[in-house]
Amino acid sequence: MKIVFFGTPDFAVPTLNAVLNQPDMDVLAVVSQPDRRRGRGSKLIPSPVKEVAMQAGIPVWQPERVKRCGETLAKLRNCQADFFVVVAYGQLLSSEILAMPRLGCINVHGSLLPKYRGAAPLQWAIANGETETGVTTMLMDEGMDTGAMLLKTSTPIGLLDNLTAIGDRLAKSGAELLVQTLRELDGAKLQPTPQAETEATYAPLLKKADFVIDWHRSAIEIHNQVRGFAPACHTAWGEQTLKIISTIPLGKEFFTLLPEQYQDLANAYNHCSFESGSPGQIIATIKNWGPILQTGNGHLLLEQVQPPGKKSQSGWDFINGNRDIRAFGLPNAHQ
Q: Which residues are annotated as a binding site for (6S)-5,6,7,8-tetrahydrofolate?
A: 111-114
Residue 287: DSSP 8-state: T
Whole-number Cα distances in Å, 165 to 84, 123, 203, 231, 250? 28, 12, 19, 12, 21
Which stretch of DSSP H or E encloses residue 315?
A: helix 315-321
Residues in the chain: 335
Nearest of 207, 215, 237 to residue 307 by alpha carbon:
237
Triad 263, 268, 271: Cα angle to 5°: 130
CB 223 within 8 A of CB 245: no
Would the CA dihedral through 97, 102, 107, 113 be positive or negative? positive
- Report d(CA 225, CA 123) in Å as an integer: 9
Residue ranges for the known binding site are 111-114
Four-CA torsion 9, 10, 16, 18, nearest 10 degrees = -160
Tell me how many degrees the CA angle 243-246-247 measures, rounded to the nearest 5. 115
Distance between CA atoms of residues 245 and 29, nearest Å = 38
Tell how strand 240-250 and strand 234-237 pair up.
antiparallel
Of 139, 143, 138, 88, the closest CA to residue 113 belongs to: 138
